[in-house]
Amino acid sequence: MLNLLNWLGLSKHDLIKKNRQIFYDFNRNRSLEDYDFVVFDTELTGLEPGTDEIVSIGAVRVQKLRIKLAENFFCYARPIKSLPKDSTLIHKITPSQIIEAPPLCETLQDFVSFTSGAVIVGHFVNIDMNFLNRATRNCLGGTIKNPVVDTMKMALFYEDYRRRNYYDDATSGLSFGLNDLAKKYRLPLFEKHDALEDAMQTAYLFLFLAKRLKNVGVSTLRDLIAAQGRAAFTSDKDSYTA
């Protein structure tokens, strides 16, 4: 019955109602330095939003284009189904680590509160947002409306700008995976496939790209969203590997 009410939009949690109010008429014309960003990542049992589940969420806050190391979020979430062995091989989360973890619905409220008023950032973020919004719909009665920024699209736009304006062929064969970009831009490297570490890696990438895109006229949130909308996508699916 609750799922039916959620689907009809008749059982929205107060957090979802507050989220809708905050972002109903959100000003996207301010300088990027004026926004709070929550950079996040999830670890999953697989990549099918209809059947797979979130088993971990990690996030870090960015204010004034600086990482706030003391303001971070991390949780494990116990999935409804058994943890597939294939997913454990990727993220190294074992059944014994999450057997005592609360179900996602019990921790999701804390994460939504952590993102309150913030712009959400992720790498190839559509996957994470699909899982997150499915969870908020099931657990809280609705999806969140935070503006979303994708660092992969930022990198695509930035590299395409360099190619067109400086005839830079360095993008040939370039992978747009998170760690590959971090190595290319000589950023600090963090452990792969750990939600909080990947969130930190993405935060460093976001700041690197935001500061460089500012030099080419991308100075407001509206500019950034428009720029990532114009990102020249490559057809190589391997370029999207995190």
User: What is the per-residue pLDDT across 166-216, written as a single tens digit (0 to 9) for each?
Assistant: 766 655 567 899 999 999 999 999 988 899 999 999 999 999 999 999 999
pLDDT for 26 beyond 80: yes
Classify residue 228: in a domain, yes or no: yes
Per-position DSSP letters for 162-224, written without gaps between them: HHHHH--GGGTT----HHHHHHHTT-----TT-HHHHHHHHHHHHHHHHHHHHTTT--BHHHH
Residue 64 DSSP class: T
Classify residue 126: in a domain, yes or no: no
Lookup: tokens for 87: 């997913």
Which domain range does residue 197 map to?
Answer: 150-233
Least confident of 88-97, 126-135, 137-146: 88-97
pLDDT of res. 83? 64
Classify residue 214: in a domain, yes or no: yes
Classify residue 97: in a domain, yes or no: no
Write out the H or E segment, with its range, that includes residue 70: strand 66-76
pLDDT of res. 115? 98
Contact assessment for residue 15 and residue 22, using Cβ atoms and an 8 Å cutoff: no
pLDDT of res. 110? 97
Q: How many domains does the chain have?
A: 1
Strands 36-44 and 66-76: unpaired
By C-alpha distance, which of 93, 86, 3 is closest to 42? 93
Q: 């290319």: which residue's tokens?
A: 184
Contact assessment for residue 149 and residue 115, using Cβ atoms and an 8 Å cutoff: no
Helices 151-166, 195-214: inter-axial angle, 10-degree rounding: 30
Residue 24 DSSP class: T
pLDDT of res. 232? 60
Q: How does residue 234 score in pLDDT terms, banded at 50, 70 and 90?
A: very low
Classify residue 208: in a domain, yes or no: yes
Classify residue 11: in a domain, yes or no: no
Q: How does residue 240 score in pLDDT terms, banded at 50, 70 and 90?
A: very low
Q: How far apart are CA 96 and CA 99, in angstroms?
A: 5
Compute the mean pLDDT over every residue in the chain, rounded to the nearest whole number: 87
Q: 């921790």: which residue's tokens?
A: 107
Classify residue 66: in a domain, yes or no: no
Q: What is the mean pLDDT of residues 135-163?
A: 95
Whole-angstrom CA distances from 134 to 43, 105, 109 are 15, 11, 14
67: three-class secondary structure by DSSP:
strand
Lookup: tokens for 64: 């004034």
Helices 125-140, 104-114: inter-axial angle, 10-degree rounding: 110
Classify residue 20: in a domain, yes or no: no
Least confident of 79-83, 101-105, 142-146, 214-218: 79-83
